[in-house]
Amino acid sequence: MSTVVRLEDVDVSFGTRRVLDGVSFSVERAEFVGLIGANGAGKTTIFRVVLGLLSPDRGSVAHLGRHVGYVPQKVVIEPDAPLRARDLVALGIDGERFGVRMPSRARRARVDEMLESVGAAEFADARVGTLSGGEQQRVLIAHALVGNPPLLVMDEPLANLDIKSGHEIVELVARLTKERGLAVLLSAHDMNALLPHMDRVVYLAEGRAVSGTTGEVVRSDVLSELYRYPVRVLDVDGTVVVVGGHDVQVR
């Protein structure tokens, strides 16, 4: 595998508040990495650093290429907005480029191919604002990937989806990761939907991070050290539960 993006000892502060504290991890080609943490843990700041929107105070960020596909957490499009699914995907081909556009026939073929690959061909001509949350996610993924970026960054894509749609989106992303050789960094509050599919996890707490396989990271001793607080990891009928408190016995 080759490294697509690597953060080494990254610090970011806003005023006197340290938001990221010595964060290090990498995402390799054809690797699905989950970025897990509660609100305020530093996930959004990491994304801003990875996307080149924010320079760290200390440490380094290295990219295989600067082209990054990005799926934001929430996109609000009114139902009556005259924007079809295929129109939104097409904007990802050359929406940020100048000069000669791709010929229309080639553009349409590329858009159709991308819509098909994410399971969105059947609603290609529907207005984006009328689609369900899961359908919109598929279109946004197609928009992010139509330009063939080496890295896909997804900001809380499961936050507004029901359980079934959330699992379907995770399965789709996992498939695209392997089929296209993508590097994927996907943030979430809850890792359970990602567990069967992600190759590695980056777990964040109060700006600090630990990364590795789930077996290496999602452990009572590792998370207790990360949180600097007693934490216990429980497996309840296949669902991982992280609990904490001074009465927790960490083993």
Report how far residue 26's alpha carbon sits from residue 195's, in angstroms, rounded to the nearest whole number: 18
Other beta carbons less than 10 A from residue 176's beta carbon: 19
Provide the pLDDT for residue 246.
Answer: 55
Helix axes 133-145, 104-117, angle to 10 degrees: 130
Q: Could you tell me if 182 and 152 are in contact, meaning their C-beta atoms sit under 8 angstroms apart? A: yes
* Beta bridge partners of residue 34, listed in sequence order: 186, 201
Length of the chain in terms of residues written: 251
Phi, psi (deg, nearest 5) at residue 144: -70, -30
Name the token pair of 28.
């390799």
Provide the pLDDT for residue 104.
Answer: 84
Q: Could you tell me if 218 and 233 are in contact, meaning their C-beta atoms sit under 8 angstroms apart? A: yes
Consecutive 10-residue runs of the chain (251 residues): their mean pLDDT?
Answer: 92 95 97 94 95 95 87 89 94 62 80 96 96 96 95 94 95 96 95 94 95 95 94 88 66 46
Report how far residue 207's alpha carbon sits from residue 217's, in angstroms, rounded to the nearest whole number: 16
Provide the pLDDT for residue 250.
Answer: 46
CA distances from 113 to 29, 120, 179 (A): 22, 10, 14
- Nearest Cα neighbor of 7 from 174, 195, 185, 189 is 185
Report how far residue 205's alpha carbon sits from residue 151's, in angstroms, rounded to the nearest whole number: 24
By the 10 Å C-beta count (0-12 exposed, 13-18 middle, 19+ buried), 139 is classed as buried
Provide the pLDDT for residue 120.
Answer: 97
Name the token pair of 169.
């989106």
Contacts (Cβ under 8 Å, ≥6 apart) of 93: 102, 107, 110, 111, 146, 147
Helix axes 163-180, 133-145, angle to 10 degrees: 20
Structural domains of the chain, ranges and CATH numbers in brackets? 1-67+149-213 (3.40.50.300), 79-147 (no CATH), 219-251 (no CATH)
Q: Could you tell me if 87 and 37 are in contact, meaning their C-beta atoms sit under 8 angstroms apart? A: no
- Nearest Cα neighbor of 136 from 81, 88, 198, 101 is 88
Provide the pLDDT for residue 251.
Answer: 46
The pTM for the full model equals 0.91
Provide the pLDDT for residue 239.
Answer: 87
